[in-house]
Amino acid sequence: MATTTLIDDLLKGFHRLFGVHRGLRPVHTRGVFLEGEFVPADPPAALSRAAFLRGAPTPVVARFSNFVGMPDGPDNAQEKRGFAVRFLLPGDASTDVVAHTYDGFPTRTPEDFVQFLAAVAEGSAGVERFRAAHPETRPFLEAPDFAPVSYATETYFAVHAFRYVAGDGKATFGRPRFEGVAGVHHHSAQEAAALAPDYLRAELRQRLASGPLHFRYRVQIAGPGDPLDDPTRRWPDDRPLVDLGTLRLTKLAADQDDLARRIGFLPTRLVDGIEPPSDPLFAVRGDAYRASYAERS
C-alpha cells in the first residue's frame, strides 16, 4: 500500500499541471461512456481460467478519453487517448482494464512519476532535465501524438504485465490490449486543426448509427528476458498475441454525467485467473485511483 504522502503528491502533481476542477477526474477529464458487451473467443482462450473469458457474453461499460486534465481540452489536440473497460460480472462483481494509446509508461516507479509531473509542469527546461536524468522516459517523450480519425481507430495498451493462470494452473505473463477492428487511422496536424473541438464524440454518434464498434481484446505474451516489472520497456513486436474475445460497443450511455460521478475504473480490480503484476507502479495506481475518486466525489 502506498503512503498517503505519495498519493497526495501524485494528485497534487496533476492539479499543478492541469488545475483543480472540482468533481472531475484530474487527468483524462474529457471523456465519453459507451455500453456494449464482451464476446469470448470461440473456442475460449486457454490462457486464463477467468470465468468471463468463456461462455455467454458479458455486459460492459467503457469510457474513451483525451489525456489532458481539463474539461474543455479539445478533441483535435495532438495527444494520447485513454480507454477503460468495466466488465459487469454476476453478483454485482466487476473487473476493469485501463489502457491508453502509448505502449508503456513514462516512468518505472511512482516516485519518479511524481518528479515527471513536476518537470512537465515546469515546462521545456524541466522536461529536458528530467529526460537527461531518466533515459528510460525518452521513448514516451519522443513518441508522436496524434488526433485520431475516431476513438475506434486506435490500439489501446494496458500498462502492466499480468499473470494469467489457466485451468490446469499454468501461469503465463502478458500485457493486454484492445485493437480497433477498424484499424489505426490518424489525422494529420493540418487536418486536425480544422476539426471541431468536439469532433470525436460527434464521430462516435455517426459511426454507431452504422453499427457497433469492435475491438479485439488480446494479450501479448512475454518472451525470455522480457521485463515483467518495468512498464517503460516495450516488448518486441514479434511476441505472440492471444485472442481473448471481442468487445462490441453498441451505443452511447444515456446519462453521461451520472456515470462520470459513479464509475471509477480501477486497474487493480481483478478476478480469479488474472493475478497482479510485480512492478512497483501497480498497487500505487490502485491507491491513486481510489483517492482520485474519493476527491471528486
Q: What is the DSSP string of 77-97?
A: SSB-EEEEEEEEEGGGEEEEE
Q: Where are the beta strands (DSSP E) in the chain?
A: 31-40, 58-66, 81-89, 93-100, 147-148, 155-158, 162-165, 171-180, 186-187, 213-221, 241-252, 274-275
The dihedral over CA atoms of 125, 130, 131, 137, expressed in degrees to the nearest 10, equals -140
* Residue 1, domain member (yes or no): no
Q: Which set of grid coordinates corresponds to residue 11?
A: 494528485
CA dist 25 and 5 (Å) reads 19
Look-up of cell digits 490500439? 155
Q: Does residue 129 lie in a domain region?
A: no
Paired residues of 196 in beta bridges: none
Q: Identify the band that residue 2 occupies on the pLDDT scale cut at 50, 70 and 90.
A: low
Between CA 140 and CA 146, with CA 142 as vertex, the angle to 5 degrees is 90
The tally of domains found in the chain comes to 1
pLDDT of amino acid 297? 82
- pLDDT at residue 278 is higher than 60: yes
pLDDT digits (tens, 9 = 90+) for 209-222: 999 999 999 999 99
The DSSP line for 238-256 is: TS-EEEEEEEEEEEE-S-H
Residue 5 lies in a domain: no
For residue 57, tell me if it sits in a domain. yes
Spatial distance between the Cα atoms of 157 and 73, rounded to a whole number of angstroms: 22
Residue 1 has pLDDT above 70, yes or no: no
Phi-psi region of 254 (alpha: psi -120 to 50; beta: other; left: phi over 0): alpha
Question: In 58-68, which positions are buried (b, 16+ CB within 10 angstroms) versus exposed (e)?
Answer: bebbbbbbbbb
Look at residue 137 and tell me if it is in a domain: no
Cell digits of residue 10: 501524485
Would residue 11 count as lying in a domain? no
Residue 123: inside a domain:
no
Q: Mean pLDDT for the chain?
A: 96
**Residues of the chain above pLDDT 90, percent:** 97
- Indicate the pLDDT class of residue 86, thresholds 50, 70 and 90: very high
Asked whether the predicted pLDDT for residue 38 surpasses 90, the reply is yes
Cell numbers found for residue 189: 496536424
Q: Is 218 helix (H, G, I), strand (E, B) or coil?
A: strand
Q: State in Å, rounded, how far the first CA of the chain is from the last one.
A: 22
CB atoms within 10 A of CB 25: 24
Q: Does residue 73 fall inside a structural domain?
A: yes
pLDDT in tens, 3-37: 789 999 999 999 999 999 999 999 999 999 999 99
Q: Which domain holds residue 161?
A: 31-108+144-278
pLDDT of residue 4: 86
Q: Indicate the pairing of strand 93-100 with strand 155-158.
A: antiparallel
Tens digits of residue pLDDT in 146-191? 999 999 999 999 999 999 999 999 999 999 999 999 999 999 999 9
* Number of CB atoms found within 10 A of residue 134's CB: 19
pTM of the model: 0.97
Q: CATH no. for residue 173?
A: 2.40.180.10
